[in-house]
C-alpha cells in the first residue's frame, strides 16, 4: 500500500512486514525517514520529527547545501555538497557535472512500470513515481517504487529524462540509493569462481566504500549481483537484514558506504566504470530494476521473501510451477566425443530408468570436435550424427523421451563458417589482437542485424525439430569492449547495449517458442541472476557436481535464488572436477534440492546404481512440488565444515522434506542436536524414515540427533502431518 500525506508531504509504502517512509523536506529534498519494521501511518509524523531533526536541511539557509552530506537521500547527485558516492553523474556540454535534485511532483498508480527491453517484475502491486528536478540542468529523475501487499520486496528503478535540447552524457546512472541510519552492520556477499560460485562471505562493514562488481559483461561467477546488509546479531532465523539484488545480467556495481557517523549508503545498478551513455534532448534513459528485501526474521526470512518474489514476479508464469523434466545430459558422459551409438545407448538406458528428457550438449553442430571451432555454425554435423538431429529425436520418441539441445548463441569461433563470412561480427577492435577466452570470441550483440541473424538460425533449428528443452550457454566474458558499428561517442554504451541484445534474443526466442523450456548456463553458474531467470526458469548452477562442493554452492545460491531455479545433476565418481568419490545416494540427495537430472553415461552404470537411479527418480517425483513451491529453511551451514542440512516446508505446513550431508566423520562428535524449522508448532508430524511422531513444536525446539554417518554420508527425511 502507498499512502501520501499531503500535510506532511510524506509517502508511506508498505509490503509484507516492512514500511518505507519518505518525505519532502522544507528545502524540497526527498528524504528517507524509515526503512524497516512495519509502522502505523500515524507514526509518520514522529518519524519525520525524529529522523529529520538530525539530518534534514529544512530551509535555504547557508548551511543547507552542506547538510546534504548528512541527509538520507533517495537518489544522490554529484558536486553540491554530498560527498558520499553519487547515484548519478551527468556531464553537460559545458563540462559541468554538478546537480542537486529536488521534488517536483509525484504519481501513485496500480501496477509496476514495465522496463522496456529489460527483465522486470511482471505485474500487480502499486507504484509511487516521484519526479525530481535538477537545480543545475535540464535533467529530471523519476524514481519508481513498487510494493506488493504480501511481499517483503520493494522494487525500485529510475528514469532519467533530458528535458533540454542539448545532449548530455551519463557517466553513472545507478538504479537506486538507500541511506540507512547508523548501526553496526555486516555485509554478506556471494563470491567465487568457475566451479565455486556464490560462496557466502560476511564481514563487518568498514568505513569507506565497499564495492561489489563485475566488469565482465555478465553478472559473473566471481561476484553475484546480490548483497545483504546485516544488522548486528542477525542470524539465520532472527534479526534484521536488508537484501539488495539487481534484476540485471550485465556488468554491474553494488556499493555500501559507511560514513564517519556510521550511516550506510547502499546503491547500485549498471557498472559505471567504462559507462558513458549519451542522452539527447528529450531522451530518457531507464535503469534496470533492483529488489530491496527487508527481513526481521534473519537471512532465512529474507531469502524466503526473495524466493517467493522471484517465483511470483520474475520467472515465466507458465513455467514457474510446471513440473520440471528429469533429464540426462551427455556432457560429462561423452564431452565432444559422441556418435549415434553412444547417444542411443544413453537414451535407451534413460528410458528404462524413468528419465523424461535427453539433452544433447555441446558438439552436435558445425565442425565441433573440441572447443576450438564451430561456434556460430548452428547446422547439424552430419558426419558425427548420421541422420542428423532427426535420428536422435526419433530414438528419443521411440523410447518415450523428450529431446533437448545445447546452444551458445552469443559466441563465434574464429574457425567457423560464420566467422569466415563475417569476421567483423566478433567483438574486437581493429589493430588489437583479441583475447580468446576458451578459444572463442563474442558476437557483437549491440548490433541488431547480428541478433536477428542468430534468432533466424537458432529459430530454424527449433522450428524444424521437435525440441522441448534448450540449454543456453555462454562460456566466456567480454574483453575488448568495442563495437565496430558504434560511433566513438557511443562506445561507452557497449556493455549495456550488449546485454540488451542478449535480452532481445532471449525475449524473441522464448516468445516464438513458448513450448520450449529454456535453461540458462554460463560455464556453470557464471550468469546466475534475476535478469536471466526472467527468461530461463532454471540455470545450471555450477560445473562442479561433487556432492559436497555442490551442497556449498547450492547453499550460497539459495540466499538469493529459489531451489526451483537451480539445475542440479548427479554425475559420475571419481568426480570430474574434484576427483572425489561420494556415494550415489548422497549425490542423488543433494541433486534432489533443485531441478534434478543426471550427467553421466547411464549405459556404463552398474546394475546397482541403475536401481538406485530408478528409486531416486521415483522419490524425486514425490517431492518435486515442494522443491517448486515450498519454503526453504536452512538447518546447518556447510561452510561451518561439518554438516549441510536444508529443509523445504509446504506453504500449508502439512509436509516437509529434509536433506542432510555429513562432511568428514569425526570420532565422538555424534551427540549433536538438529532442530527442524518452519513446521507448525501445533501440528503433529511423522518422520517416515525415523518412525518418529512428535509435535512441530518439539521437533523445532528439542530437535533430533544428527544421524551417525561416515564421510560424505547423507540422509533424507520425509515429514508428514498426522491428522
Positions annotated as catalytic residues are 473, 543
Residue 267, beta-bridge partner list: 177, 255
**Closer of 119 and 524 to ligand GLA (Cβ):** 524
Choice between 356 and 361, CB closer to ligand GLA = 361
**Minimum distance of ligand GLA from residue 577's CB (angstroms):** 11
DSSP code at position 411? E
Cell 554460463 maps to which residue? 522
244 beta partners: 227, 292
Query: Taking CB positions, which residue lies at the least distance from ligand GLA?
Result: 362
Least gap, CB of 509 to ligand GLA (angstroms): 18
Q: Do residues 259 and 224 touch, judged by C-beta distance below 8 A?
A: no
Complex with ligand GLA: residue 148 or 528, whichever CB lies closer: 528
Phi and psi of 245, rounded to 5°? -150, 125
CB 359 to ligand GLA: min, Å = 9
In this structure, what C-alpha cell is assigned to residue 368?
565441433
User: How far apart are alpha carbons 229 and 680 in whole angstroms?
Assistant: 29
- Min dist CB 518 to ligand GLA, Å, is 14
Identity of the residue, 373 or 475, whose beta carbon is nearer to ligand GLA in the bound complex? 475
**Cα separation of 154 and 146, whole Å?**
6
Q: Specify whether the CB–CB gap between 359 and 470 falls below 8 A.
A: no
Q: How far is CA 141 from CA 32, 77, 100, 102, 677, in A?
A: 17, 11, 11, 9, 44
Minimum Å gap between C-beta 406 and ligand GLA is 6
* Cβ at position 407, least distance to ligand GLA in Å: 10
Q: Do residues 598 and 355 make contact, with C-beta atoms less than 8 angstroms apart?
A: yes
Instruction: Give the count of beta carbons closer than 10 Å to the beta carbon of residue 346.
Output: 25
C-alpha distances (whole Å) from 283 to each of 94, 114, 616 are 19, 17, 56
Least Å from the CB of residue 583 to ligand GLA: 23
For ligand GLA, give the closer residue by CB, 405 or 658. 405
Cell numbers found for residue 272: 559505471
CA 8/CA 25 separation, integer angstroms: 9
In terms of CB distance, is 74 or 543 closer to ligand GLA? 543
* Cβ atoms of 685 and 699 closer than 8 Å: yes
User: What does the alpha-carbon distance between residue 272 and residue 173 come to, in Å, rounded to a whole number?
Assistant: 7
What value, to the nearest 5°, has the Cα angle with vertex 366 and ends 194 and 421? 100
CA neighbours closer than 13 Å in the CB half-sphere of residue 308: 19
The Cα-based distances of 203 to 188, 189, 206 in angstroms read 7, 9, 9
Note whether 10 and 21 are within 8 A (CB): yes
Identity of the residue, 289 or 545, whose beta carbon is nearer to ligand GLA in the bound complex: 545
Do the beta carbons of residue 174 and residue 269 sit within 8 Å? Answer: yes
Residues of this chain that interact with ligand GLA (CB under 6 A) are 331, 361-362, 406, 473, 475, 521, 523-524, 540, 543
Spatial neighbors of 611 by CB under 8 A, at least 6 apart, are none
Work out whether strand 327-329 and strand 595-599 pair parallel, antiparallel, or are unpaired. parallel
Cell of 626: 515442494
- Closest CB to ligand GLA among 214 and 475? 475
- The least distance separating ligand GLA from the CB of residue 327, rounded to whole angstroms, comes to 12
Distance from chain centroid for Cα 245: 8
Cα 101–Cα 107–Cα 108 angle in degrees, nearest 5? 130
Residue 264 CB, nearest approach to ligand GLA (Å): 36
Nearer to ligand GLA (CB atom), residue 35 or residue 338? 338
Rounded to the nearest whole angstrom, what is the least distance from the CB of residue 523 to ligand GLA in the complex?
5
Pair 248, 288: CB distance under 8 Å: yes
Q: Which is nearer to ligand GLA, 410 or 473 (CB)?
A: 473
Query: What is the DSSP secondary structure assignment for residue 181, as one 8-state letter?
Result: P
Query: Mind giving me the DSSP string for 276-339?
Result: -EEE-TT-EEEPPPEEEEEESBHHHHHHHHHHHHIIIIIS-HHHHTSPPPPEEE-HHHHTT---
Distance, in Å, from the CA atom of 344 to the CA atom of 340, rounded to the nearest integer, reads 6
162 versus 577: smaller Cβ distance to ligand GLA: 577
Distance separating alpha carbons of residues 575 and 578, to the nearest angstrom: 6
Which residues is 161 bridged to in the sheet? 140, 284
Q: To the nearest whole angstrom, how small is the minimum distance from the Cβ of residue 147 to ligand GLA?
A: 37
Amino acid at each position: 500500500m502507498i499512502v501520501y500525506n499531503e500535510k506532511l508531504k510524506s509517502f508511506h509504502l508498505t509490503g509484507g512486514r516492512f514500511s518505507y517512509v519518505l518525505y519532502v523536506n522544507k528545502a524540497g529534498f526527498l528524504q528517507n525517514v524509515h526503512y524497516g519494521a512495519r509502522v502505523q501511518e500515524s507514526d509518520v509524523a514522529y518519524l519525520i520529527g525524529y529522523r529529520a531533526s538530525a539530518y534534514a536541511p529544512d530551509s535555504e539557509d547557508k548551511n543547507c547545501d552542506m547538510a546534504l552530506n548528512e541527509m538520507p537521500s533517495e537518489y544522490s547527485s554529484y558536486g553540491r555538497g554530498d560527498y558520499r558516492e553519487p547515484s548519478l553523474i551527468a556531464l553537460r556540454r559545458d563540462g559541468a557535472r554538478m546537480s542537486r535534485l529536488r521534488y517536483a511532483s509525484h504519481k501513485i498508480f496500480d501496477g509496476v512500470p514495465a522496463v522496456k527491453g529489460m527483465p522486470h517484475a511482471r505485474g500487480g502491486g502499486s507504484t509511487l513515481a516521484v519526479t525530481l528536478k535538477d537545480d543545475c540542468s535540464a535533467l529530471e529523475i523519476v524514481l519508481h517504487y513498487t510494493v506488493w501487499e504480501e511481499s517483503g520486496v520493494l522494487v525500485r528503478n529510475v528514469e532519467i529524462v533530458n528535458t533540454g535540447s542539448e545532449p548530455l552524457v551519463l557517466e553513472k546512472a545507478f538504479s537506486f540509493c538507500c541511506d540507512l541510519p547508523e548501526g553496526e552492520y555486516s555485509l554478506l556477499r556471494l563470491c567465487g569462481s568457475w566451479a565455486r560460485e556464490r560462496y557466502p562471505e560476511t564481514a563487518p562493514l568498514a568505513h569507506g566504500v565497499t564495492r561489489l562488481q563485475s566488469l565482465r559483461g555478465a553478472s559473473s561467477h566471481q561476484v553475484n549481483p546480490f548483497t545483504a546488509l546485516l544488522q548486528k546479531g542477525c542470524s539465520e532465523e532472527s534479526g534484521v537484514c536488508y537484501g539488495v539484488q539487481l534484476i540485471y545480467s550485465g556488468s554491474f556495481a553494488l556499493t555500501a558506504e559507511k560514513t564517519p557517523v556510521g550511516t550506510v549508503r547502499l546503491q547500485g545498478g549498471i557498472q559505471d566504470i567504462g559507462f558513458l551513455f549519451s542522452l539527447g534532448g528529450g531522451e530518457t534513459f531507464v535503469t534496470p530494476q533492483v529488489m530491496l528485501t527487508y527481513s526481521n526474521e534473519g537471512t532465512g526470512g529474507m531469502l524466503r521473501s526473495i524466493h517467493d518474489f522471484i517465483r511470483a514476479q520474475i520467472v515465466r508464469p507458465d513455467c514457474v510451477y510446471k513440473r520440471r523434466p528429469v533429464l540426462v545430459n551427455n556432457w560429462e558422459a561423452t564431452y565432444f566425443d559422441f556418435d549415434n551409438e553412444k547417444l542411443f545407448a544413453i537414451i535407451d538406458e534413460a528410458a528404462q530408468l524413468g528419465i523424461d528428457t535427453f539433452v544433447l550438449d555441446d558438439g552436435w553442430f558445425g565442425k565441433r570436435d573440441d572447443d576450438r571451432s564451430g561456434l556460430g555454425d548452428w547446422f547439424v554435423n552430419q558426419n558425427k550424427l548420421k541422420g542428423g538431429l532427426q535420428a536422435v529425436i526419433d530414438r528419443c520418441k521411440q523410447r518415450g523421451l523428450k529431446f533437448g539441445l545445447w546452444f551458445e548463441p552469443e559466441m563465434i569461433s574464429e574457425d567457423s563458417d560464420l566467422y569466415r563470412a563475417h569476421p567483423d561480427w566478433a567483438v574486437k577492435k581493429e589493430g588489437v589482437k583479441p583475447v580468446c577466452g576458451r578459444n572463442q570470441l563474442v558476437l557483437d550483440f549491440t548490433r541488431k542485424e547480428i541478433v536477428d541473424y542468430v534468432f533466424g538460425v537458432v529459430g530454424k533449428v527449433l522450428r524444424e525439430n521437435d525440441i522441448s528443452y534448450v540449454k543456453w550457454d555462454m562460456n566466456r566474458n567480454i574483453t575488448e569492449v568495442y563495437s565496430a558499428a558504434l560511433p566513438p561517442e557511443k562506445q561507452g554504451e557497449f556493455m549495456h547495449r550488449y546485454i540488451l541484445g542478449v535480452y532481445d534474443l532471449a525475449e524473441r526466442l522464448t516468445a516464438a517458442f513458448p513450448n520450449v523450456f529454456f535453461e540458462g548456463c554460463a560455464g556453470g553458474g557464471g550468469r546466475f541472476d534475476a535478469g536471466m531467470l526472467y527468461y530461463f526458469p532454471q540455470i545450471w548452477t555450477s560445473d562442479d557436481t561433487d556432492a559436497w562442493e555442490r551442497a556449498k554452492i547450492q547453499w550460497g545460491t539459495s540466499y538469493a535464488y529459489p531451489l526451483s531455479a537451480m539445475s542440479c545433476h548427479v554425475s559420475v565418481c571419481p568426480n570430474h572436477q574434484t576427483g572425489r568419490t561420494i556415494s550415489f545416494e548422497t549425490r542423488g540427495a543433494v541433486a534432489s534440492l533443485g531441478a534434478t537430472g543426471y550427467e553421466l553415461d547411464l549405459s556404463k552404470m552398474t546394475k546397482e546404481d541403475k536401481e538406485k537411479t530408478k528409486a531416486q527418480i521415483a522419490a524425486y517425483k514425490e517431492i518435486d512440488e515442494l522443491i517448486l513451491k515450498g519454503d526453504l529453511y536452512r538447518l546447518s551451514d556447510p561452510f561451518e565444515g561439518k554438516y549441510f542440512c536444508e529443509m523445504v516446508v509446504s506453504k500449508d505446513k502439512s509436509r516437509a522434506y529434509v536433506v542432510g550431508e555429513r562432511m568428514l566423520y569425526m570420532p565422538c562428535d555424534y551427540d549433536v542436536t538438529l532442530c527442524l524449522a518452519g513446521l507448525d508448532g501445533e501440528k503433529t508430524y511423522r518422520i517416515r524414515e525415523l518412525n518418529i511422531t512428535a509435535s512441530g513444536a518439539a521437533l523445532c525446539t528439542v530437535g533430533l540427533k544428527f544421524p551417525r554417518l561416515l564421510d560424505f554420508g547423507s540422509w533424507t527425511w520425509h515429514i508428514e502431518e498426522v491428522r
